[in-house]
Structure 1
Amino acid sequence: MFDFLPFGRNKTTDPLSSLKALTNWINNELPMGDMYTAHEKITQCIVELNNKTDPFSKDRLQMLMQLDEQGVELQESLCQQYLQNPRMSRVIESRLWNSIHAYYWETTRGYHAFIMDYVGNPSGSKIKSLLPKITARAINYFGMTFKWNYFRYEQLEPKMWKRLHNLYHFAEYEEFDHEPIKLYDVTGKSATCTDLYVQALMLNNLNTGSLFPKQIDMVSMWLEEWSSSMTLKKVYDPAQHVFCVDLSTDRGGKRIRKMQNNDMQRYWGTHDLVCRIERVKTKLLKGDAPARLGLGEACRLPGCLEFLDDLMRHWAPTVTRVNRLHARTTVVKMIEVVHEVEDIFGQVRVDNELALLSKKPTDTDIDKGALSYDEMVDVRLYGFVTKRTQAKLGAAGSPLDQQQVAHHERWVMENESEGGYGATLNVMGNDWIRLDKLVGLKPERSGQWQIGVVRRLSKPAAGQLYVGIEVLVKLPIVVTLHAKQLYSTGYAVDGVDAADMLLPIAGVYVPKDDENHFPNSLVVDPSEYAPDRVLELAAGKKRYMIRLTDVLEKGDDWLRVAFVIVVKAKTS
């Protein structure tokens, strides 16, 4: 990515030859009108400075600090550009991510090298007065590097944790761990090494593979304010402490379950933090704006309230372990996958049409997909078949003959439960996989397509991607929706009102889930939703007038919305 050759300069104009030369280069040659290029050149300078074999002098450290101070605002601008454009192309996303990650890592590596040089020869070093600031910056940038790894659900290298622990231990040893430090003049923010270290520990505690980058970034921002509610202690207090970290290991913090005291353990509690979140939530419910409470513009209600509840449950001093709804078993089984919404609906439609050709079922056949199309709709909506439906399709031909073959992928799933599946894939070729992505699933020896949603992602090893999928509905029904006006528009073509000339809308019916308190709902394109919109739902030869109500969940190209039946229309 970076051009590591000099920028067309000779040795006499090398900006890294002296602090004065670097200042001149920043003021006169750095292309500040081009944010990305300026950021790239600063990162390149930091890389070159890190690769120098010169002694770790005070002048060299000041050059690194000046480059960092010049680049920090550019870095923040690129971070915001990345987070505010979740639907950017993979090429742009990769370029931005790599640029941002490279800046954090190379700057961290530079500060860490100076600190380690001081540790090796403290009496011969002249940078002691700068140690608190560069240690705080290094701890902060380790945390930021971790955060951007979480954005891609990547595992952290164990040595990264070890280095971060050593930096915090060094701050303790030098007795500036609780000293407020102004990190950058341009931002004006101050923090202690302990605060920055706790922020990294608490954010890692949430790295479950089920959060979006914007959610991770939002929590990171909140922790900048909330981390002062937590203090690391060397002595364990069972009445206060909830989490611990061992500075001698290569892992992050964990909830205390079995106490094993040693001198390298540090402990902290979360009672004050949870109380603080509870106060914020109370103010939101009273009508205070999220931005006014320091939650940022990305905090949107009501979803933000649910997210705060999740944080409180995760960090609460006392936690009730939630058992899995369904036991997970290890299996090795092939599963067919389609991921375009049109292809998913197409496969489900074929299953539905095949059901039309099946014989009249008994009650025990309902769950086997043997109902006719009309009977399936009645059972799903009302819980029983209301009356004898019209004759089933006869000589219409096999729907398999009419099927348009969609692009299928074959995965080897490694575990399954009543509620979903898990599979480990190669990263290459699967860059379409994202959290909340809608997928069609057909396990081997299964006669029907199911609809699922990607709920969890992680990268357990280089080149691997673990995908956890929740099954949304095992026996989906494709329905056709028609926009309906409750009044005439006054415009007609050949006697047909313009309100009835809209194209039909495809959707999938999802029956109510009493266990999880989900009502009857539809999966549709997000552009088709409007609160209280009235539609005619057509399934087979049945017609229902329905009204859309609450959005239950949504992804990039789909939306699940609840509905109520206004009236059952006349059978066509």
Structure 2
Amino acid sequence: MLDFLPFGRKKTPPSSDPLGSLKAATSWLHELPMGDTFAAHEKIVTLLNEFSEKAEPPSKARLQVLMHLDEGAQELQHTLTQQYLRNPRMSRQIESRLWNAVFSFHWQIARGYHMFVMSYVGNPNSSDIRHDIPLITARAIRHFAQQAKCRYFRYETIGAKLWKHVHNLYRLSEYEEFERKPLLIYPKCPGHTTCAEEYLQLLSLDVLNTNSLFPKQIEMVDLWLDSWAAALKLERDYDPQRHVFCVNLGEDKGPRRVRKPPAADSMFRCWGSDALMERVKQTKDALQHGETPAKLGLGEDCRLPTCLEFIDRITQQWSPSGEERVRRKQERIAKVKLIDVVKDFLEICVQVKQDNEALSPKQEEEEQKVKISYEEMLDVRLYGFVTQRTQAKLNQAKQPQPTQQAQQVAHHERWLMENESSSGFGATVDAVHDDWVRLGKLVGLKPERSHNWVVGVIRRLSLLESGQRNVGIEVLAKAPVTVMLKATKPRHSGYTVDGIDAVDIVLPVSALYLPPNAEDKSGVSLIMDSVEYAPGRHFELSARSRSYSIALGRVIEKGDDWLRASFEILQKK
């Protein structure tokens, strides 16, 4: 009789399983520790793994849970990606944690969507998710593409399995005839996309994967392709007048530039880049006429004028004209030898300085000859004979003396050089031991049997399956000179102790002088610590007992903690 009273019946507790329903997943997302981005993101990845491992048949309700988790994690994923990109000099341990967190999310989400797509392909007629297939196919392609982008960040190769998955997803969109259907891929994502655009965005980014772009540059191009990819169109029939690239949907490989007409094959898809080039040209013209990068949708990392130079660089890779493409300036010659490498800027300056100070054997012999001859002549004039002391000096001078370079041992590493050209070297290094190796890193190099150190920059990186890295190094100067720079106008801090500003105490700093280079048409320049640079700043430059008053010019190139700048000689002292 009293069953209708609250205490007369036992309440059924709500499901505590966040994968049990859309409502439970929503409540679970609201309870995440949003103050700790990494911890919250880690919980989502763990839950996604449980979702895929759960032995339950795909259903509409389960798909809703997966899509909701995907949408709810977008902001966290974006935050972690930005943390990764904005800390290029982080330790290997932190880099690995951030990279794995970002990559694992894309892998788990793509895995989940791919499971539903395969379930639909196996039984399309009785599937209750037929209406959602275009959207989850586009999302799956995007998450596979994001996995590829993460591998580009580390200069790794894209696996055959990923290419097969992406090709098959695009083939499905063609077969079901929704490859060009406009989709709002995420509720908070502005603009519409299509499966074809998502696929072409990955293909276009892979064309730029020359192992010479910084992760931040890769991310920037990926952002631009969100809108630029709409100008591209995949076609089945090859047209030599329009098509530049092609991809084989039946292979486990990425796109390639068409150099000869592909064989008649229903699996080939080709596309041209004329429309893309026109879109890029319009963007570049707008920038040159004063439009802001933000208004053009280029992102906050697009800073002029370097952004214009970068746009020219990627345009060359996409260009349909073979003459305008970036080609290797000099032919590489296979040559195996050991090469000493110095990574610290000050250590590079020390080694170059020792080369500058070392006299050639002929110069040293002439100097000693003149010096001893003068002392012998002085003895004869004073005493009428050469003294034993002078003879001892003569004997000592004939004995080989250890040079300063031999006395000071550089803290260097030794690499195996595999090839060289007139402008650089190719080498193989251990990826774990040499984790400091990054694009844009300045290094000092001394190949075996070479008499002096040269200065180079790491331009290309690629990770091998063996765990080693291929490194491409461009030599900036074969005969650099270490110079000392002393600021003529010190920076004032505004704080004094007993009337003395501590910043007024100006200490000289080391820099590297680079002579003019005919190949890149650059004049004289200096490589220096980036914190010392300011446009137009005056220094007193000292080298080889000479002194000049100089003013710094434009920045030619910038690395992680160094930059190369032009300068003007104001006065010779």
**Aligned partners of 1:130, 1:164: CA distance in 2, in Å?**
18
Distance 1:239 1:78 in 2: 44
Q: 1:288 to 1:189 in 2, by over 3 A?
A: closer
SS class of match (2:359): helix
**Superposition pairs for residues 274-313 of structure 1, below 5 Å?**
274-313=277-316
The Cα shift of 1:12 comes to 5.9
CA distance in 2, matches of 1:568, 1:12: 83
Q: Which residue identity is paired with 1:556?
A: D
Counterpart for residue 27 of structure 2: 24
Spell out, residue by residue over 1:236-277, the C-alpha distance to the aligned partner (whole angstroms, 9 max, x if none): 222322211111111111221111221111111111110111
Secondary structure of the residue aligned to 2:73 is: helix
Deviates more, 1:179-188 or 1:147-156: 179-188
Aligned residue number for residue 211 of structure 1 = 213
Pair 1:488–1:451, CA change in 2 (3 A): closer
State whether structure 2 residue 77 is matched by structure 1 residue 106. Answer: no
Deviation at 1:114, TM superposition (A): 1.2
Summarize deviations over 1:269-289 as a string: whole Å, max 9, x none: 111110111111111111111
Instruction: List runs of 5+ in structure 1 lacking aligned partners.
Output: 1-9, 363-394
Contact preservation (8 Å) 2:338, 2:448: yes
Pick closer, same or farther for the CA change 1:129–1:161 going to 2, 3 Å. same
Q: Does the 8 Å contact 1:548/1:564 carry over to 2?
A: yes
What's 2:232 paired with? Answer: 230
Q: Does the 8 A contact of 2:201 with 2:229 survive in 1?
A: yes
- Give, in angstroms, the shift of residue 497 of structure 1: 11
Letter in 2 for 1:327: E
Q: How does 1:371-450 map onto structure 2 within 5 Å?
A: 399-400=403-404, 403-450=407-454
Distance 1:504 1:22, change over 3 A: same
CA gap 1:400/1:22 in 2 versus in 1, 3 angstroms? same
Which runs of 4 or more aligned residues in structure 1 lie more than 4 Å from their structure 2 counterparts after TM superposition?
486-489, 496-500
1:230-249 correspondence to structure 2 within 5 Å = 230-249=232-251
Distance in structure 2 (CA, Å) of the matches to 1:225 and 1:153 = 25
Q: 1:507 aligns to what SS in structure 2?
A: strand
Measured in 2, the distance between the counterparts of 1:91 and 1:501 equals 39
Is 1:186 the counterpart of 2:188 in the alignment? Answer: yes
**Could you list the runs of 5+ residues in structure 2 that have no partner in the other structure?**
1-12, 367-398
**1:45 and 1:216 mapped to 2: Cα distance?**
29
Confirm or deny that 1:545 pairs with 2:556: no
SS at match of 1:544: strand
The superposition leaves residues 155-214 of structure 1 with CA deviations (integer Å, 9 ceiling, x where unpaired) of 111111011000000011111110111111133442100010000000000000110011
2:159 to 157, 160, 163: 157
Q: CA RMSD in A?
A: 2.8
> Residues 188 and 280 of structure 1: is their aligned pair in 2 closer, same or farther, counting only changes over 3 Å?
closer
Identity, % of aligned pairs?
A: 50
Aligned residue identity for 2:282: R
Q: Please, which of 57, 78, 84 is the counterpart of residue 86 of structure 2?
A: 84
TM-aligned CA deviation for residue 488 of structure 1: 13
CA distance in 2, matches of 1:323, 1:456: 14
User: Which residue of structure 2 lines up, in the alignment, with residue 198 of structure 1?
Assistant: 200
Answer yes or no: is the 8 Å Cα contact 1:483–1:499 preserved in 2. no
Q: Does 1:348 align with 2:347?
A: no
- 1:177–1:193 Cα contact (<8 Å) kept: yes
What's the counterpart of residue 517 of structure 2? 513
TM-score, structure 2 length as denominator?
0.86
1:358 Cα shift? 5.6
Deviations 1:371-410 (A, max 9, x none): xxxxxxxxxxxxxxxxxxxxxxxx9x85527854332211
CA contact (8 A) 2:483 2:513 kept: yes
Whichever residue aligns with residue 159 of structure 2, its letter is: E
TM-superposed CA distance for 1:63, in Å, is: 1.5
User: 8 Å contact 1:16–1:49 — kept in the other structure?
Assistant: yes
Name the CA distance, whole Å, in 1 between partners of 2:244 and 2:121: 32
Distance 1:125 1:256, change over 3 A: same
What residue number does 2:393 align with? Answer: none
Change (3 A) 1:72 1:487: closer
**Partners in 2 of 1:507 and 1:412 — Cα distance?**
28
CA separation in 1, counterparts of 2:425 and 2:334?
10
- Output one character per residue of 1:527-567: Cα deviation in whole Å (capped at 9) or x when no partner: 11111111111112111111111111111111111111111
Alignment correspondent of 1:96: 98
**Structure 1 residues 401 and 185: CA distance shift in structure 2, 3 A:** closer
8 Å CA contact 1:350, 1:403 repeated in 2: no
Amino acid at match of 2:519: E
Of 251, 254, 279, the residue aligned with 2:256 is 254
Amino acid at match of 2:172: F
Q: After TM superposition, give the deviation of residue 492 of structure 1 in Å.
A: 13
Cα pair 1:105 1:145 within 8 Å, conserved: yes
Distance of aligned partners of 1:180 and 1:361 in 2 relative to their CA distance in 1, 3 Å threshold: farther
Q: Rg: which structure is higher? A: 2
Q: TM-score, normalised by structure 1?
A: 0.87
TM-aligned CA deviation for residue 117 of structure 1: 1.7
Correspondent of 1:332 among 319, 329, 336: 336
Per the TM alignment, residue 313 of structure 1 is displaced from its structure 2 partner at its CA by: 1.6
- Larger mean CA deviation between 326-335 and 193-202 belongs to 326-335
The answer for the alignment partner of 1:480 in structure 2 is: 484
Q: In terms of mean alpha carbon deviation, does 270-279 or 29-38 score higher?
A: 29-38
SS in 1 for 2:94: helix
Aligned residue identity for 1:465:
R
Matches within 5 A, 1:555-566: 555-566=559-570
Assess, with a 3 A threshold, how the Cα gap between structure 1 residues 53 and 462 changes in structure 2: closer, same or farther.
farther
Is contact 1:485-1:499 (8 Å) kept? no
CA contact (8 A) 2:332 2:420 kept: yes
Do the aligned partners of residues 194 and 568 (structure 1) sit closer, same or farther apart at CA in structure 2, a change above 3 Å counting? same
Question: In structure 1, what is the Cα distance between the partners aligned to 2:14 and 2:182?
Answer: 40
Q: Is the 2:317–2:326 Cα contact (8 Å) retained in structure 1?
A: no
Q: Hey, what does 1:316 align to over in structure 2? A: 319
Q: How many residues align?
A: 525
